[in-house]
Amino acid sequence: MQQIPGGVCAAQGFSAGGAHCGLKKVKPDLALIVSAVPAAAAATYTKNVVQAAPLHVTKRHLADGMLSAVIVNSGNANACAPDGEANAFAMCASAAEALGLAAEQVAVSSTGVIGVSMTPKMPLVQNGIASLAESLTADAAGSDAAAKAIMTTDLTQKEMAVQLTLGGKTVHLGGIAKGSGMIHPNMGTMLCFLTTDAAIAPALLSRALGLAVERSFNRISVDGDSSTNDFCLIMANGLAGNAEICEENADYAAFLAALTDICVYLAREIAADGEGATHLITCTVKGAPDEEIATTIARSVISSSLVKSAVFGKDANWGRILCAMGYAGVNFDPERVSVSFASEAGEVPVCKNGRGLSFDEELALKVLTPHEVEICIDMAQGNAESTCWGCDLTYEYVRINGEYRS
Amino acid sequence: MQQIPGGVCAAQGFSAGGAHCGLKKVKPDLALIVSAVPAAAAATYTKNVVQAAPLHVTKRHLADGMLSAVIVNSGNANACAPDGEANAFAMCASAAEALGLAAEQVAVSSTGVIGVSMTPKMPLVQNGIASLAESLTADAAGSDAAAKAIMTTDLTQKEMAVQLTLGGKTVHLGGIAKGSGMIHPNMGTMLCFLTTDAAIAPALLSRALGLAVERSFNRISVDGDSSTNDFCLIMANGLAGNAEICEENADYAAFLAALTDICVYLAREIAADGEGATHLITCTVKGAPDEEIATTIARSVISSSLVKSAVFGKDANWGRILCAMGYAGVNFDPERVSVSFASEAGEVPVCKNGRGLSFDEELALKVLTPHEVEICIDMAQGNAESTCWGCDLTYEYVRINGEYRS
C-alpha cells in the first residue's frame, strides 16, 4: 500500500470539481464527484434522530446499492427547513440531467446552517450544478476543488489516496472529507466521500465501510455534537479490473486495511482541524478487557471539556483523565490504571496504579507543547486496546460558535 | 413553606463554621457542621467509577443511617492520592475528638485538585479541625462561614433555608452547596449539605433525598464532567418535635416538597455560577411521552457545547437545539417539535412543527440578553414535562480550566 496524490480522482474513471453558486458569499459551495460507469456504493449516516432531507433522498437512491455520482453543497444544511426533500431531489435531478443520468443514480449531501430554506436559492443552485457538471476533471485539481467546496469552518482541506495490489491489479482508493465542528463519535460525524476502482460486491463494500468508519470517524470528537447531516459515502466502480471481491478473502482484508487507513487519516485531520483547536489529542487505551471498553474510555477522555481545556493550557492535569474514565459508563478497577503524556518532545508518566507520580513539571510542559500530544492509558486489566482522537478546547472554539450564524 | 435565613443553622440544634488551615493559600478551606444530638442521615454519591477516598469512609460511617457531624475540606479532592482513606478517616477522628464523638459519627467530604496527597498537610488539617470545632456557632454566621469554606472556583456562596409546618410543629430545613465546574447530571455533581430538625425515619429520609436530588442536582450541567467527589448529605435531628415521619403520608409529601424546593434552588445557583458563565439557561420540555424522555432531551440540550456557545453569543440558533434533541438517545418525531426562546424581555417562537419560523432578529437578541434565558420546547407527543438547567460556554470557562492547577 502506497500513498499517492489525486484524492477522489486517484481511482480510474472518477472525475470531480467544485464551484461557487451563491449559497455562501464568496467561497465555493458546490462539489460534484462522478464515476464514468455505474459504481457499487455504500454509506453510513448520522445516528441523530433529526436527519437532514438529503439523507432521506440519498437512502432511497442507494437502495439498489449502485450510484454514478454525488452532488454536495455547503452553506446550507437543508435540515429542518421547508421543502427539504423536494429541493434535495431537485439537486440530484439537475446533476443527472447535466450528466445524462437518472436522478436515482445520484446521491446528495449538504452541510451548513440548519433550519434555513434552500428554496429561494434553488435557481442559483440548479444553474450552478449545470455549469459545474461541464467543468469536471479527472485529476488532482478536480479532487482539490471538490475538497475545498465542501468546507465550512474547516481551516484545512482533507484529502488522501493510496494504491494497493489486489490479485496482480493496481487498485486505487481515495477520499475527501470535511468537518471541524459538531464532531462526535457515532457516524456520521462529518462528510466523507470515498472512491475506488476496485471491483467489490455492494454487500462487502458496505461491510468494509462500516468497519472502517467504526475505527476512524466514530473515534473522534470535537465538541460532542453529532450533526443532522453527517454522512460517509463510498463508490467502487470496478475499473481496476481485479477479480470482484465477493467474499471475505485476502483481497477483502487488504482492501479493508487500505480503507481503514484512509478513514483514520481523514478522521485525524478532522480532529486536528477541530474548531479553534491548537492541539490534536490522541488517546490510546491498552490493557483493557475488550476493545469496546477501551474505545468507550478513550472516547470519554477525549470528549471531556476539562481534559480538553487542560491540554489547551499545557497542564498535565491527569486527575481529570481518571475522572473522565470513571464516568465513561463502564466498570473497571481504577487502582490498576497508569497514565502518561507523550509527544515528539518525550514522555512523562504521571500516574501509576491509580496514584499520582511525582514528575518534572518542566518536562511535562515540554511534552505538552507540540501540536500533537498523546494520552497513554494502561488499564492493566486485559489485552485489548483502542485509540480515539480529539482536540483541545480553546477561546477560539467559543468565538467561532458564538458568532456562527451572524 | 416560607423562606428564612440561617442556611444549615436554620434548623434547631445545628451549629457550623469555617476556617483556613492551609490547604489553600489564603481562603477558608475547612467547614464543619454539627448536630447537638445524633441525627438520621442519608446521602447520594457520584456515580463516577473513580470515587474519592472520603466517599468510601463516609459510606461506612453512614451504614447505620445516623450521623452527628460532617467535616469538609476544599483545596484537595483526596482522590487518586496515596493514603486517601487513612487521611479521610483521620479527619473524622480529629473532628470526633474535638466534639466528644466517635469517628464513626462523622462524615467527611473533600473537593479540589485530584491526585495530590493530603499527607504532608495533615498536621495543618488536624490542627485546623481542632480549633474550628471550638468556634462553631448556631446562627447564620456559622452557616455563611461553612458555605464560604467549601467553595473552589465558585463566585457565589450558595445557601437556602425554609420553614414549614408538620402536624402543628414548625420544622426548619436548610442547606449549603458548592460547585461550578465538573458539573453534570447524575449525582453527585457538586457538594451539598442539608440539615433539618424534622423527625423522619432514615429510610424515608433517604427516599426523599433521592427524589429531590433526581429533580434538582441531576438536572443541571455545566461541562459534562461528573466529579470523583460529588456528594449530597442530609441530617435530620428530630428536634422540631413533630411526629416522626415513618410512612409516605401528608407530612412526608410536605417535607419532600420543601426539600425538593431547596435542592432546585441550590442546583440553579450552581448552574448559574458555572465556570465563566454569563447566562443561566433553563430548558423546559413539555408535550413529551414521559418524564424520563423529557428529562433526557432537556439534559442533552443544556449539555450541548454548540447550544451553550450560541447562548453566549446571544444567537437564536435553534437548529442546534433540534440537533441536540436528535442525538439525546431517545426516539421522537421531529416534525411535531416547536421551540421558542423566552426571558424577562419577552418570548420569540423560532420553530414550529420542526420547521423554522421567520422571526424578528432584534427581538431575539433582546430576549437572549438577560442573565436568565429559557429554551421552551413543546414536543406535542404526550403530556409529560421536565426542566433542566445549565449555563453558557464562554472564553472564561476555557481560561479557568486551562489554568486551574497552576
pLDDT in tens, chain B (406 residues): 899 999 999 999 999 999 999 999 999 999 999 999 999 999 988 888 888 999 999 999 999 999 999 999 999 999 888 999 999 999 999 999 999 999 999 999 999 888 889 999 999 999 999 999 999 999 999 999 999 999 987 888 999 999 999 989 999 999 999 886 555 433 334 788 999 999 999 999 999 999 999 888 888 876 555 667 778 899 999 999 999 999 999 999 999 999 999 999 998 888 888 777 889 999 999 999 999 999 999 999 998 888 988 899 898 989 889 988 988 889 999 999 999 999 999 999 999 999 989 999 999 999 999 999 999 999 999 999 999 999 888 877 777 777 655 4
Interface of A with B in 275-314 (CB under 8 A): 303-306, 309-310, 312-313
Mean pLDDT of A158-175: 94
Condensed to tens digits (0 to 9), the pLDDT of residues A341-380 reads: 999 999 999 999 999 899 999 999 999 999 999 999 999 9
Q: Which of residues 311-330 of B touch A (CB under 8 A)?
A: 312-313, 315, 317-320, 322-328, 330
CA atoms of B43 and A205, how far apart (whole Å): 53
- Is the per-residue pLDDT at A186 higher than 60? no
For residue B309, the model assigns a pLDDT of 87
B217's grid cell: 442536582
Tell me which residue has cell 470517524: A217
Q: Any CB–CB contact under 8 A between A358 and chain B? A: no
Residues on chain B touching A318 (C-beta within 8 angstroms): 115
Pairing of strands B372-378, B338-343: antiparallel
Cβ-defined contact of A401 to B322 (cutoff 8 Å): no
**3-class secondary structure per residue, A222-238:** CCCCCCCCCEEEEEECC
Are B356 and A306 in contact (CB < 8 Å)? no
Burial of B383 (C-beta count, 10 Å sphere; 0-12/13-18/19+): exposed
Q: In chain A, positions 372-401, which contact chain B (CB-CB < 8 Å)?
A: 393-395, 397-401
**DSSP-derived pairing of the beta strands A355-356 and A372-378:** unpaired
DSSP string covering A259-325 = HHHHHHHHHHHHHHT-TT-S-EEEEEEEEESSHHHHHHHHHHHHH-HHHHHHHHTT---HHHHHHHH
List CB contacts of A217: < 8 A, sequence separation 6 or more: A187, A188, A189, A190, A192, A232, A263, A266, A267, A270
Q: How far is B323 from chain A (nearest CA, A)?
A: 6
pLDDT value, residue A148: 96
Asked if A15 contacts A113 with a C-beta cutoff of 8 angstroms, the reply is no
Q: What percent of chain A has pLDDT over 70?
A: 95
The pLDDT value recorded for residue B382 is 97
Residue type, B34: V
Provide the terminal-to-terminal Cα distance of chain B, rounded to the nearest Å: 45
The residue from A152, A189, A196, A228 that is catalytic is: A189
Q: How confident is the model at residue A222 (pLDDT cuts 50, 70, 90)?
A: low
Is B312 within 8 Å of A398 when comparing Cβ atoms? yes
Report which secondary-structure segment, H or E, holds A70. Answer: strand A66-74
The residues, ordered by sequence, that sit 6+ positions from B249 with a Cβ below 8 Å of its Cβ are: none
Evaluate whether A338 touches A377 at the Cβ level (below 8 Å). Answer: yes
A369 touches chain B (CB under 8 A): no
B112: its cell numbers? 479540589
Grid cell digits, residue A114 = 440548519
Q: Any idea which residue has 462561614 for its cell?
A: B145
From the candidates B189, B228, B260, B394, which is the catalytic residue? B189
Q: What are the percentages of helix, strand and coil residues in chain A, rounded to 5?
A: 35, 30, 35
Contacts of B76 in chain A (CB under 8 A): none
Q: Closest Cα partner for A274 from A362, A188, A158?
A: A158
Cβ–Cβ under 8 Å, residues A356 and B117: yes
Residue B196 · residue B238 · CB < 8 Å: no
Query: pLDDT tens digits, residue range B235-272?
Result: 999 999 999 999 999 999 999 999 999 999 998 888 88
Q: Which of B358, B368, B401, B405 to mutate to test the interface with A (most CBs of A within 10 A)?
A: B401
The predicted pLDDT at position B188 comes to 34
Q: What is the pLDDT of residue B172?
A: 95
**Which residues, numbered 77 to 106 in chain B, qualify as contacts with chain A under a Cβ-Cβ cut-off of 8 Å?**
77, 79-82
Q: Check: CB of residue B106 under 8 Å from CB of residue B73.
A: no
Q: Is B189 one of the annotated active-site residues of the chain?
A: yes
CA A238 to chain centre: 24
**Minimum CA–CA partner of A316 in chain B:** B405
Provide the pLDDT for residue B174: 94
Residues A101-114 have pLDDT tens digits of 999 999 999 998 88
Instruction: Encode burial over B47-62: b for 16+ CB neighbours within 10 A, e otherwise.
Output: bbbbbbbbbebbeebb
Q: For residues B166 and B169, what is the distance between their CA atoms, to the nearest angstrom?
A: 5
Look at residue B270 in the predicted model and tell me its pLDDT: 86
Interface of A with B in 172-191 (CB under 8 A): 181-182, 184, 186
Please state the ipTM of this predicted complex: 0.74
Indicate yes or no: CB of A403 within 8 angstroms of CB of B303: no
A68 pLDDT higher than 90: yes
Q: Do A332 and B49 touch (CB under 8 A)?
A: yes
The highest-confidence range among A118-127, A383-392, B147-156, by mean pLDDT, is A118-127
Q: What is the pLDDT of residue A226?
A: 63
Cross-chain CB nearest to B355 (options A49, A80, A313) = A80
Instruction: Give the Cα separation of B174 and B234 in Å (integer).
Output: 9
Average pLDDT, chain A: 91
Positive or negative torsion for Cα A249, A250, A251, A256: positive
Closest CA to A214 of A388, A32, A394: A388
